[in-house]
Structure 1
Amino acid sequence: MAPSALPSSLLTDALHACVVGVVITDALQEDHPIVYANPAFERLTGFRQADILGRNCRFLQGDEHEQPGVAEIREAIKEGQSVTVVLRNYRRDGTLFHNELTLSPVRNAAGQVTHYLGFQNDVTTREEARQSAAQSARVLSSTLDRVTDGVTSLDQDGVITYVNGSGAAIAGRTPTDLVGHRLIDVFPTAPLTPLGQSILRARDASSPQRETAFSSEIQKWVEVTTYPAEDGVSVITRDVTEHHQAQVALQRSEQRVSRIFAASPMPVALTRLSDRVFLDVNPAFEDLTGYIRDELIGQPASELNLWVDDTERLNALREMANGNTARKRTVSLRGKSGQIYDCFVSFVPIEIAGDPCVISLVQDMTNENRARRAMEESEER
């Protein structure tokens, strides 16, 4: 079959001057050979007219004939439609470039497609930037999916645009269950809860907010930190249920110990080992020494002159520094009034908030010793 007529000379001159690569293929010949290529196409590809005319455009694809865009081109030609795709093409020197190709059918008066007009545009910079951004997004997504804290993004309308695996797991959902849905649709009571209110405050006040509360919808204690952004908010969630339960158990334990400490008939004092400062005393210790609690807390024992023989105190502290327990040391203590008390003191090392401390358990033997001495004197008489 003879080639179809080429465009008019005026159209040819316009295409010749075009800065975008242009080719015309003959749709009535087998394999759609190129029957025209403008100078911009030669500059884009590095091929000369003799290398181009009579060939199908696929020669630019090198060995990459299974690209996604190729299938779209075949389908568009089959249907006689226009199509725009981005292909990986190769110049004459073998260098790769990303070619944004737009194919448009040209029909005769009878409506038959006689030619295809192909516009070629080098979009390598754009595609490399897009691929780089996509790779960065994949790396970021992969990194966030390994984070144990939940990471969720919401747009200005409260629609979930991203959630990592940990965030979905904390919510008892999958990312598919959440992305694309409004937070209020997934958790209807969220705006009424302290956690939901903190998210709204961050969005409205444009300042980070943090809240820890129990979520009845997921039956967990959750710490939520919300950071505002131009397009919405980013929410970091952490399941603190175990930590909260441990804190509650610790508080209850401390309350029990505190009650035992206060109710003990034996004088008890808690001091810090590094500076010997009193951290706490029980009522029995107040009764023994004559000092009230406020006079003791924050004061070192040495400044209160409690020890009659300071050597006894220093010997006990040396043992404490070595991590030993000094039990039933016989010491003499001086009360606020100046009265001397004969005592047994046991020192037990303990660590509080990382600080080495000492619990002193005091047994007042003054009356017993007086009675014993009186008995001995009576027996002698």
Structure 2
Amino acid sequence: MEDHLPGAEHWLSIARYRNVTTEMVYMGSLFRPRRDGDDCQTPSSFTVHRLSNGTICFESKFLVGVTRDTMTNSHTTRQSSDRADDIAGAREDGRGRSVVSAEAVNEGRRGRLRTSHAVGLLLLLTAGVFWIDTVTPLGVAGAAGVMGGVPYVLVVLASLWILQREYALIMAALCTLLLIAGFFVSPAGGELWQVAMNRSFAVFAIWTTALLGAAAKHSSSLAAVNAALSAQETATRKQAEEALHVSEEHWRSLTEYSPDHIMLIDEELKIQYINRPVSGLTVDDVIGAPLLDFVPPKCHEDVVNCFAGVFAAGEPGQYETTYCSDDGTERVFEAFVGPIVKSGKVTAATCRATDITDRRRTEEALRESEEMHRVTLTNISDTVLITDDAGDYTFICPNAHIIFDYSEEEIRRTKNISALLGEGLFDPGQLRARGELTNIECEVRDRRGDPHALLINVKHVSIKGGTTLYSCRDVTARKRAQAELRLRNLAIESARNGILIADACSDDMPIVYVNPAFERMTGYSAKDVFGKNARYLHGSDRDQPELAEVRRALRESRDVHVTLRNYRKDGTLFWNDLSISPVRSDDGRITHFIGVQNDVTEQKASERELRENEQRLTHVARLSTMGAMVAGISHELGQPLYAITNYSDACATAAEQLQGGQGEQVVDWIRRISEQANIAGTILKRLRDFTRPSRAERMEADLNSIVRQSIESTALELRDRNVRIELQLTEPLPRLFVDRVQILQVMINLLRNSWEAMEETAEDERRIEICTQATETDETVIVRDSGPGFGKEGEQRLFDQFYSTKAAGMGLGLAISRSIIESHQGRLWSTSTDVGAVFSFALPIGCNSLLETDP
């Protein structure tokens, strides 16, 4: 049975508004349960339970109450006290339902026991009255008037006093039934109509007493409940107010300190509440203003549609919008909208706006990073593979086809990386210990079978089930380039030409590379020349015209080819055939100069020898002409000289006949004339024979005698030039087997060279020292003058044919002299000193071998 509880809706609205549990206890007389265990609903959405122990428990979403039966015949104050005890004894369990305490339960048990005792006593009393009625004629009800049902009325009054009103009504019904039964079982004692009337008045008295008593008891119970409810309402209101205050504080803390903007929006999309406005606005600027005033026009449609859906369907929604602050910064907000329902209708909406600008920027940066990594992985030449511990693929870079010429799906079908890179690529133990292995070289073949040299880095990772990352770089082209570079370097290192490279970007163009041929050619090591300019090779010989051409070419950044005089580390001269070329970078900028040099000293010597040979040929041509002239001269002068010899012999014969010392002197002069004429004839003969083969005429001779004869033959020239002769002859010397005239010619050539070399020497310092020495094997003649001597170049070329240090010299004297000495199996040499020159020749003792031709 349903009943209405006064004030229940009010408290339910408070509880529903505050979302808290309110606890109340009602009297059992307000409800009428169907039976034990049945539920009934109250108009206030209460669910009422009748427990087996007589306790009535009612609950709703917010309210739970507990009461118990009380005895009906107690006065109102006692009942109110009992109800107050019930309320005080009630408590709330862990599920939000109020239950009686142990003391209240015990009190209920005692009440039920008293009730059972009272019911038994009433039943005995009723049975006693019924017995009297059955044994008394006409019964006790036979009395006239209303006193006929007095015993049963007393029973009903006792039930009202002891028990609740339900028991009083039950006892009234029982007494009515017994009164009717007594009519039929009592012995006759009067008129029938009187008995019937008497018993009718008794039934009326019984029910009048029961109904009036029940009504009175109901009124007292209701008053007690109202008093209890009033007290409870006051306490509950106070608790609700306190809970509301606490809840408001919690709500204010949540909203004020929340990083989001929380708003209450009405149906007109106006802001009724906001926890904090955006930067540059105050709360007063926002409250009451339309929400669309703070939303850019491009987002109006999304906002209106979102709120329209919330108000129409009551379902939450969301949208995104932007807001431009005073400083021009645009912020992005994500708004979540939820409905506020009252009486089944959406009356307002909550809006929580979260600033997601930083998140959007992070997401955008993440997308850009992912895109960059995707593009990078797609376009880089390196291939990245990730496998698990077993070597099965968990990731394959999209550009794997660049190296292997297989698609990603084809590689994945191979399942294990060993099918792609081979077995035993690295030691797993080393990878676990070090975490990364780098520069592992491996050779694989692509789909076409072409080999690829790979450089692989392996790293231990943990990425979506993958544990090993392989970074594969195709270094085939680099390997090929390195091989070509090694070959090129080997060629440069093995080249016979010297190669040097200078840095054109530095101010002094220092040398940065030289090859071994350069080191051999110059005597300088690479360590000696690195960082230096190549000008050190010029030594002090800096005035070469070719150097100016080199400097000009370097300034103009062009090729140049010159031949320079350079000097080795030991100071010796060598001719350097140098080619210099600029080296340009990809952008056309000159970065280095490369010089290729070749030692052409021998070539220069050959060229000089060629020129000298050409000069010799010219001399030979002149000598041929001179030979013809000498032959004619010899023929023309031979007759006069022969005549002079004859006439001088005749004069000598005639002079011998003269008497006195004067004749002897004349004879000596004439003989001298004859000897000189013979010598002149011999010289002419030698000049004639110079151009044709002839046999040597050797005989025993004294070397000191030949020395003295050479001095006598040149005495006139020596005297005219004021040259003093100093002799240091070793006496006696062994006899030599030589051509006397040829050795005499050598001595005269040496003497002539000496006095001609002293033309610039002071006359008082002009002297020639002649020494002879003898050893066991040979005899030596030394001729030393006091002239200026000769330089290093002169010492090297002194005995060359047609080389002369004199402007008018023919360059044949020393060459002929050396050939004469060497034809005698001797040797001729020279030495330059600080004062003068020294010429020496040595002839072997006892040499009698004859040569086929003269020199």
TM-score normalised by L of structure 1: 0.53
Aligned to 2:565: 332
Matched, 1:225 2:457: yes
Matched, 1:205 2:427: no
Aligned to 1:106: none
Matched, 1:271 2:533: no
Distance 1:220 1:90 in 2: 56
Aligned to 1:242: 477
Kept in 2: contact 1:90–1:96 (CA 8 A): yes
Amino acid at match of 1:326: V
Distance 1:352 1:358 in 2: 13
Deviations 1:266-293 (A, max 9, x none): x42323144342622454x55654x165
Aligned to 1:163: 396
Aligned-residue Cα RMSD (Å) equals 5.2
Matched, 1:187 2:418: yes
Aligned to 1:151: 384
Aligned to 1:105: none
Deviation at 1:338, TM superposition (A): 2.9
Distance 1:246 1:11 in 2: 89
Correspondence for 2:605 among 353, 362, 367: 367
Amino acid at match of 2:475: V
Secondary structure of the structure 2 residue equivalent to 1:161:
strand
Amino acid at match of 2:502: R
- Whichever structure has more helix as a proportion of its residues is 2
Cα pair distance change 1:368/1:325, threshold 3 Å: same
Deviations 1:109-154 (A, max 9, x none): xxxxxxxxxxxxx9x99x9999999877654443233222333444
Query: Share of identical aligned residues, percent?
Result: 12
Map 1:68-83 onto structure 2 (within 5 A). none
Cα pair distance change 1:272/1:190, threshold 3 Å: same
Aligned to 2:581: 348
Cα pair distance change 1:315/1:366, threshold 3 Å: same
Unmatched 5+ stretches in structure 2: 1-40, 48-57, 64-254, 256-261, 267-304, 320-332, 339-350, 620-809, 811-855
Distance 1:89 1:135 in 2: 24
- Whichever structure has more strand as a proportion of its residues is 1
Deviations 1:84-111 (A, max 9, x none): xxx98349xx975499xxxxxxxxxxxx
Bigger radius of gyration, 1 or 2? 2
Distance 1:256 1:62 in 2: 86
Kept in 2: contact 1:215–1:221 (CA 8 A): yes
Deviation at 1:165, TM superposition (A): 1.0
Matched, 1:358 2:594: yes
Amino acid at match of 1:211: I
Kept in 2: contact 1:288–1:335 (CA 8 A): yes
Cα pair distance change 1:374/1:128, threshold 3 Å: closer
Kept in 2: contact 1:199–1:209 (CA 8 A): no
Deviation at 1:316, TM superposition (A): 1.0
Kept in 2: contact 1:201–1:209 (CA 8 A): no
Aligned to 2:550: 316
Secondary structure of the structure 2 residue equivalent to 1:166:
coil
Distance 2:62 2:411 in 1: 57
Kept in 2: contact 1:350–1:356 (CA 8 A): yes
Aligned to 1:37: none
Distance 1:223 1:293 in 2: 37
Aligned to 2:317: 89
Secondary structure of the structure 1 residue equivalent to 2:541:
coil
Deviation at 1:185, TM superposition (A): 1.8
TM-score normalised by L of structure 2: 0.27
Question: Matched residue pairs, number?
Answer: 282
Kept in 1: contact 2:420–2:444 (CA 8 A): no
Unmatched 5+ stretches in structure 1: 15-42, 49-58, 65-86, 100-121
